[in-house]
Amino acid sequence: MRLSGVVTALITPFDGDRVDVDALAELVRTQIASGISGLVACGTTGEPATMDADERDLVMSTVVKVAAGKVPVLAGTGTNCTRTTIEETRRAGSLGVDGALVVTPYYNRPQQEGMIEHYRRVAEDGGLPLLLYNVPGRTGVNLLPGTVECLAGIRGIMGIKEASGSVAVVRDIVAFAPEGFMVFSGDDGLSLASFALGASGVISVASNVIPRQMVALWNAFHAGRLSEAAEIDRSLSPLYSALFVEASPAPVKAAAAILGICRDDVRLPLMKASRGTRELLESALATAGLR
C-alpha cells in the first residue's frame, strides 16, 4: 500500500452512549469528497479504549463500507500485549481494513529490543501491513530513530506515524528510510515543516473538521507553491493549538459540534471540552474561515 497526503484520524461520533453510525458515515463521505488520501478508524482520536469489541467492529466495518475502496482504510490495532495486538490486527483484516496503525506498547514501557520483537511478530502474524505509531506523550515509551531504522527493513512494516513532537526525528527517519517506507507527521502543527523534511504526509486530527484546508495545504506544498502553503498553515495555526488545549478528542469533537458535524459526546474518563475551550475553538475556526 502506498499513501501520501492527508490521512484523517477519525473521531467516533457518539449519541449519548451509542455509536452514531449515521454521523460516522456522513463524516466519511465528507472526508472523501474533500480529497483526503486515507482514513484511520479506531485510532487514538476514535476513543477505542472506551469501546467494546463489538463497537470497534461496528466502527471499522462502517468506515470500510462507506469508503468503498475510494481511499485506503487503516485501523488502530495496537495494545500493550503482543498476542492481543496480533489478534486485533487479524480481526481488523477480517473486516476489510487495508492496514493497521500499531501504537507502541503503552504502560509496560518495553525496551527498544522488546519493541523490535513486538512489531516483528505483529508484522509476521497479524495479516496486515503495519504503520508504526510513536506517541510517547501518551504511551510513556519512545520509539527511537535507531529502532525505527531496524524495523524499516522488516517485511510488512510500511512506515511510521511520528508524533513525538520533534521535526528533527522526522528528518532523521527520512534520512535513513528505505525506498517506499512512509513517514507521516502525527502532529498537525508540525505538518508543513515535516513535509519540507520529506514526510509522506500527515495523519491529522484537524482534518476531521477542516479536511479541505488540510488537503489544500498538502497540495500547495506538493505543487511547490510554498508561500501559499505557508499562508494556509498560518491561518490554521490557532486551530492546531486549540484542538489540544485539553485531552484529545474532546476539543475536536467540540469543534465538530460547532460545525454541525456530530455531537460533542465523549466517554468517561474524558469529559466534554470546557466553555473556555469552545470559545478558543470558535475564534480559531473563524480565523480558518469557517465561522
Cα separation, 275 vs 55, whole angstroms: 29
DSSP H stretches of helix in 7-51: 21-33
Pairing of the two strands 18-19 and 14-15: antiparallel
Residue 205 near residue 9 (C-beta atoms within 8 A): yes
HSE-up (13 A, CA, CB side) for residue 248: 21
Number of neighbouring beta carbons within 10 Å of residue 53:
10
Q: Which residues contact 223 (CB under 8 A, 6 or more apart)?
A: none
161 is catalytic: yes
Q: Which three cell numbers stand for residue 275?
A: 466553555
116 — phi, psi (to 5°)?
Answer: -60, -45
Cα separation, 267 vs 256, whole angstroms: 16
133 is catalytic: yes
Single out the catalytic residue among 161, 240, 253, 272: 161
Single out the catalytic residue among 119, 133, 240, 253: 133
Q: Which three cell numbers stand for residue 151?
A: 524495523
Cα separation, 134 vs 154, whole angstroms: 17
What amino acid positions are annotated as catalytic residues? Answer: 133, 161
